[in-house]
Amino acid sequence: MEAYLTDCTLCPRQCHADRLAGQRGYCGKAAGLIVARAALHMWEETCISGVNGSGTVFFSGCNLGCIFCQNYKISRNGRQHGKQEIGTEITVRRLAGIFMELESQGANNINLVTPTHYVPQIIEALEIAREKGMNLPVVYNTSGYERAETIRMLEGYVDIYLPDMKYMDSALAAEYSGAPDYPPYAKEALREMVSQTGGFQIEEESGLLTKGVLVRHLVLPGHVRESREVIRYLYETYGNRILLSIMNQYTPMPQVRDHKHLGRRVTKREYEKVVDYALELGVEYGYIQEGEAALESFIPEFGGA
C-alpha cells in the first residue's frame, strides 16, 4: 500500500505527491491520518442512520474542493497556509479502535466520510478491526470524484457505497469544483460500485441498508435543469437497481453568500420540480427531504477524533 502514498494517484487529480515524505497532495494531506470527527451520526438517510445512528468518521481534506462546501472548515484545511489544522492525527491502529468503539456504542455501520485520500490506511484499519471481531457494514461516503481503480481496491471491504452525483455538465463542474472531468470519472466509479454490490439489500425488520449503492444528488439553486440531467442519467443507466436521495439541504456558506446563484437557498418550487421529474421518469426507490431541511444543524461540529 505504501506505493500509493509515495506517488499518489488515488484520485482523479493524480497529483503524484510523495505523501510519505510529507508532501501534501491536492487534498491538502500528507500520509498522516487526520480525523475531524468520529461519533454516532443521526442525520443520514433513514436506511443508514436508523434509530441508533451511523458510526461516522469524518476525515480532513478533500480531493474535490467545491466552492459551496458545507464542510469547508475540514475539507480545505491543509491547503491554506497559515490556517490551523482541524482534526487529530491518529495511527492506523487507533482508527481500527475507533471503528470498534463505534460498534460498541450501537452504531448501525461504519461510515467513512471523504475517505478517498486515505484508502490504503482505511483498508489496513478495517483488516485490523475485523481480525478483532468488528462485524458492521462499511459505508464509503464520497463526493463521487473517484478513480475506478481505487474503488476496485475496496472490493470486499465496503458493503455500501454512498456517492454524490453532482454534475453532468463539465463546465459547471469546472466552475464550482475545479474538476471539468468530474462527470466521466463519477460515471465510471459508479459503474464499478454497482458492479461490486449488485442490487441494494435492505433488512426488512430494521429497514437498514446492508449492501448496495445509494446515490445522493444535492439540488443547487438556479440549476433545476442540471438536476434533471443527473437524475435522468441515473435512472436510464441503473433503473431501480440503486437508491436515489434527492437533497434540498443546500446551505449558502459564507464564502458564496455573494454568488449570483449559490448565495441563496433552493426554493420550494425548484425542489418540487426536480422531485416531480424523478417521479415522472419512474424512480421508485429513494429519499426526498421535506420541510425546512436546509438548516445549519446538518453541519456537524468538527474538533477531532
Give CA–CA dist 153/151, Å, rounded. Answer: 5
Query: pLDDT confidence of 244, banded at 50, 70, 90?
Result: very high
- Whether the CA torsion 62, 262, 86, 298 is positive or negative: it is negative
Q: How many CA atoms does the CB half-sphere of 89 hold within 13 Å?
A: 6
* Model pLDDT, residue 93: 98
* Model pLDDT, residue 74: 80
Main-chain phi, psi angles of 59, to 5 degrees: -90, 140
Query: pLDDT confidence of 205, banded at 50, 70, 90?
Result: very high
**Per-residue pLDDT at 292 exceeds 80:** no
* Model pLDDT, residue 267: 96
Q: Are 78 and 112 in contact, with CB atoms under 8 Å apart?
A: no
Identify the CA nearest to 135 among candidates 95, 92, 99. 99
Give CA–CA dist 4/110, Å, rounded. Answer: 23
* Model pLDDT, residue 82: 44
- In percent, the amount of the chain with pLDDT more than 90 equals 86
Query: pLDDT confidence of 299, banded at 50, 70, 90?
Result: very low
Give CA–CA dist 109/102, Å, rounded. Answer: 8
Q: Are 62 and 114 in contact, with CB atoms under 8 Å apart?
A: yes
What number does CATH give the domain 2-298?
A: 3.20.20.70
Helix (H) or strand (E) holding 163: strand 160-163
- In percent, the amount of the chain with pLDDT more than 70 equals 91
* 8 dihedral zone (left: phi>0; alpha: psi -120 to 50; beta): beta
SS3 annotation, 193-215: HHHHHCCCEECCCCCCEEEEEEE
CA distances from 242 to 31, 132, 206 (A): 33, 32, 19
Strands 33-41 and 54-59, sheet pairing? antiparallel
Q: Pull the grid cell for residue 286.
A: 429513494
Residue 286 DSSP class: E
* Model pLDDT, residue 302: 39
Residue 219 DSSP class: P
Beta strands in 2-152 (DSSP E): 33-41, 54-59, 88-90, 110-113, 138-142
